[in-house]
A and B are shown apart, each in its own frame.
Chain A
Amino acid sequence: MYYWHWLKNIVRRPETTGFPTDPDGIAKTMSNSDAIQTRARPVEGFLRRSLAIRHIDGGSCNGCESELGLLSSPDYDLTRYGFSFTPSPKHADILVITGVITDAMVPVIADVFEQMTAPKRVVALGSCAIDGWVFRGAPGVRGGLEGIVPVATRIAGCPPTPGDILRGLLATVDGVDPLSGLREIWP
């Protein structure tokens, strides 16, 4: 049925960008250079590159979900770095949390984090998950993960581009941003 697709792939280059480990003009223009802040430290011999990601929506506007969904697209292909999404928290190594954290989702997030087996790390994805962004002060909105789960990496942006999300995921494992080679730690 999709023979034309295979034929097309013989003559075309792959769509996948090299970003963030190799230069790519377009993906770099879209990305925000200081989006990544991480506290993560590499765990020698344990946290390597076959990592399962569990995602939780803590009250997002579905922009971060849209960009996370595009990570599996041929343009970004997160599996080339060894990442994959998993439906089960018990199989997950990285917990990606999006959205303004609502009160209703606090017990759910804490429960999922507890169900994950160590070593495990949490990524706060998007400006909302970092500090509530424009929803700060709304009723029922926690705005941040302080006191719920320990955050290893923050990926700023509204929404962060898939390239920035990949940078953040790599920084969560290696402790450094692959683009700048720096470790940026928030106060």
Chain B
Amino acid sequence: MEWGNMVHTIPTAPTARDWINAWRVARSGDSDSILLTADGPILTTLLMNHKTGALTRLCWDMRDSNGGDAWQPSWSGIGETMVVEYRLARERPELSWQLPDHLHVRGKGLFTYPLGPVRADVAESLLYRLHVMGDEIIRLTLQNGFKERHIRSLVSGKTIQEALPVIARFTTTSNVHHTLAMVMAVEEAWGIQLSQQVQITRVLLAELERAYSHLGDLAMLAVSTGLPVPQMEYLHLKETVLRINFALFGHRYLRAAIVPGGVAARGWHQDVDPVGAAGMISDVLDQAERMQMGLERTSSFMDRLHGAGRVPPAAIQWGRPVGPVGRAAGLGLDVRRVRPYAAYSDFDLNTPMETDGDAYARFRIRVEELGESLRVVRRILGGWNPRELSPNQALEVLNGPPLQASGVGIVEAPRGLLGYWLRFDPKDGRIAHAAIATPSERNWAVVPDAMANGNILQDFPIIDASFALSVAGWDG
């Protein structure tokens, strides 16, 4: 792993000024904060330059500060600190963090519309408080934490084999990427080398997951504008991809297909037909392109999406959204190109970019990425033979101690940049500390600003569906 301009340590008992200076250094290098962790008294942020992919580490030594008048990230007002605040408020309750107190909106004619945690037909638990005046949304506050499973503390102290099933259930619709990021961190720490066949199979798994995840999100977007026909079509395509997953890897959601040192699958003792699957993927691609053309000629769909939920430029600078949300707003960070992992350096991926930052731009990004994923899947399946995969020899290595104490895995999940930074016990290789940065956790921060940007209450489901973020990823 390449460390950028190495460790930048902030003195003990840092003040708000130290904090701001550190962030200035970070921002001057065009970096995005991706992980933050409070591991004992040392607070660490990992920064990634989004042009070169180089990593920098910022450390804060809190040993001599007594918490009370120490630095408080809220003072700095810099966007990336909000993840810091949420994370630290949970992990170090003894430090008195000032959580961003949501502005209390008051006024004549203002109505607060509480929605959640039980909402919609099938939806995750999250409480929206929509403050509306007439039809216009003046402000949105989100309250999460209903489904916190404390995965970060649950995996601490576990062996890798024990932690993998928990990590695979962080967010099921991106479980391949969660597993892949963790496995990459493990392989870095143990110095495990992989064959090209395994790397290509991992790209296949990752792109299958991106395809069905985007198909599900597009179905939600179609029904939010009151169009059940494309919703049903997209759901049928999603089910088709899930059945292909089952036929190839023995699980509809590809769970446990990635293991340290290789890939594993439950279905491989049966006859796997990659060529037949490639033909089905071709059909899905054709139909998805027809759906896109049909939707773009449907004026009721286009009218609702254009200009809805535009992320304001200040929020883009402040929150630096990642994934399709960021790429729709002109932030072109794609980890598959910046820090190619698995076999992505062999694939010349076309990363779509839009600059409008509205619901239509997010729809465009999703359909383009869906097409790109399906084309990659089809190309891999054309020459893929699971029987050529070499047997996995890494499992014995994992019983020994790691070569280095920590490992990093950064991947591009369907919803954006996903980072794992694991610290291992040097003696027995158990996980000592897990820092996990999920894309949903980061992107939810720009949703209130996008929602309260001249939209009306009727736009709410469309904007919500166009972001397509998971609450499980935020509440992990």
Contacts and interface: CB of A to CB of B under 8 A. Distances in A.
A121 to B, nearest CB: 17
A105 B253 contact: no
Interface in A47-93: 54-63, 65-66, 68-70, 72-76, 85-87, 89
B153 A61 contact: no
A61 B298 contact: no
Interface stretch (B99-107, B227-235, B348-356): B227-235
Contact of A61 (B154, B171, B229, B242): B171
Contacts of B175: 61, 63
Nearest to A5: B229
B146 A105 contact: yes
Interface stretch (B113-121, B200-208, B313-321, B366-374): B113-121
B122 A55 contact: yes
A59 B149 contact: yes
Contacts of B170: 61
A38 interface: no
B440 to A, nearest CB: 10
Interface in A81-123: 85-87, 89, 99-100, 102, 104-105, 108, 112
Given A2-B294, A65-B122, A59 B117 contact: no
Interface in B352-381: none
Contacts of B246: 29-30
A178 interface: no
Interface residues of A, number: 52
Q: What is the size category of the interface that chain B forms with chain A?
A: 35 or more
Interface string B223-246: 000000110110110110011001
Contacts of A141: 149-150
Given A61-B169, A62-B470, A105-B125, A99 B253 contact: no
Contacts of B120: 87
Given A26-B243, A70-B238, A87-B121, A61 B172 contact: yes
Contacts of B179: none
A62 B173 contact: yes
Given A1-B294, A161-B252, A60 B147 contact: yes
Nearest to A103: B148
A137 to B, nearest CB: 8
A104 to B, nearest CB: 5
B297 interface: yes
Given A108-B118, A134-B166, A62 B149 contact: no
Contacts of B165: 134
Given A61-B472, A139-B150, A158 B123 contact: no
Nearest to A135: B149
B252 A56 contact: no
B147 A58 contact: yes
A159 interface: yes
Given A85-B122, A159-B253, A63 B147 contact: no
Contact of A4 (B151, B171, B290): B290
Contact of A112 (B118, B171, B230): B118
B382 interface: no
A74 B236 CA distance: 6
A44 to B, nearest CB: 30
Nearest to B440: A62
A73 B235 contact: yes
Given A60-B147, A141-B149, A159 B294 contact: no
A140 interface: yes
Interface in A123-158: 128, 133-135, 137-141, 158
A55 B233 CA distance: 23
Contacts of B153: 138-139
Nearest to A115: B118
A62 B239 contact: no
Given A62-B472, A87-B120, A138-B154, A102 B148 contact: yes
B279 interface: no
A15 interface: yes
Contact of A1 (B238, B243, B298): B298
A15 B236 CA distance: 8
B216 interface: yes
Contact of A60 (B118, B124, B235): B124
A65 B253 CA distance: 13
B471 interface: yes
Interface in B252-292: 252-253, 255, 290
21 contacts: A1-B298, A2-B230, A55-B122, A58-B125, A63-B175, A68-B122, A69-B220, A69-B235, A70-B238, A74-B236, A76-B239, A100-B149, A102-B149, A104-B147, A108-B125, A135-B149, A135-B154, A138-B149, A138-B150, A138-B153, A141-B149
Given A75-B235, A134-B165, 17 more contacts: A1-B294, A4-B294, A60-B472, A62-B172, A63-B175, A65-B124, A69-B219, A72-B232, A73-B232, A86-B121, A87-B121, A99-B147, A102-B146, A104-B145, A105-B146, A133-B169, A135-B149
Interface of A: 1-2, 4-5, 15, 26, 29-30, 54-63, 65-66, 68-70, 72-76, 85-87, 89, 99-100, 102, 104-105, 108, 112, 128, 133-135, 137-141, 158-159, 161-162
